[in-house]
Amino acid sequence: MKSIKPFFALFAFVLLLSACKEEVIIDPTQPQGTFSVTRSGNFVAQNGTGSMGIAELGTDEEGSQFLRFGDSFTTNFATGTVTVYLSTSETFTPDPANGNPALRLLGVTRAAGEQYFEVAPAAGGNFTHVILWCASANVPFGFASLQ
């Protein structure tokens, strides 16, 4: 019985160290620290989708660029998911043969409310609009002009 006491002591010491160590998980898809807005605009609905809410382009404390949808953001999710693009105009202008220079696909949204989309690499000032797009049917759901 004497021989196992040191092992108990060592086990208790390790537990104590673990308890003191705070685990930090960094989610690169979310802004770190304060999110500073550089440009923003409100959604204009298209095709009766009821799209509305604010879109904000900005950076976090790490210098990473993000697009944020505000709490009041909504669109029509009855058809499924909706893709989110940065665009150089309010019109969806694909040009796949040349790498779609007028569009940047940021991701897919499935629900209303606040959400962030990482913009990496950061988009230049020529990307002036956010477009909500039903990619399966190729139908616009709305756009926001970033100013």
Partner 1 sequence: MNFFKLAGFMLLLSSASVLQAQSGWVKEKGKAFVKSDWVFFRGSTYYNPEEVALTTTPFTQATWHVYGEYGLGHRMALQVYAPLLRWNQFATTSPAIGQGDLKIEWKWAILQGKTPLSLAIAPELPTGRAMAFARNLEIPGDGIFLPTGDGEFNIWTTLAASRSFGRFYASAFAAFNLRTRYQGLAFRHQVQAGAEWGGKITPALWFQMKARVQESLGPGRHPELGFVRGDATAYTGASLGFWYEFNSVWGISVEAGGFFPGLVPLRNLYVAPSYAAGITWQLQ
- Draw the binding track, 92-121, toward partner 1 (x: CB under 8 A; -: no contact): -------------x-xx-------------
Beta partners for residue 130, in sequence order: 86, 144
Inter-CA distances, 33 with 24, 26, 59, 109, 118, Å: 13, 11, 10, 23, 14
In whole angstroms, the minimum distance from the beta carbon of 25 to partner 1 comes to: 22
Q: Given the complex with partner 1, which of 57 and 82 has the nearer CB atom?
A: 82
Residue whose token pair is 């616009």: 140
Rounded Cα distance between 55 and 22, Å, is 34
Q: Given the complex with partner 1, which of 138 and 147 has the nearer CB atom?
A: 138
Q: Phi, psi (5° rounding) for residue 101? A: -65, -20
Residue 134 binds partner 1, judged by CB under 8 A: yes
Among 3, 98, 138, 147, binds partner 1 (CB under 8 A): 138
Judge whether 116 and 29 are in contact, CB under 8 Å.
yes
Residue 78 binds partner 1, judged by CB under 8 A: yes
Q: Given the rule CB under 8 A, which of 2-10, 33-41, 42-50, 54-62 is the region that contacts partner 1?
A: 42-50
Please tell me whether the peptide bond between 121 and the residue prior to it is cis, using omega within 30 degrees of 0. yes
Among 83, 88, 89, 100, binds partner 1 (CB under 8 A): 83
Residue 124 binds partner 1, judged by CB under 8 A: no
Residue whose token pair is 């049917």: 137
Judged by the rule CB under 8 A, the positions of this chain that interact with partner 1 are 46-50, 76, 78-81, 83, 105, 107-108, 134-139
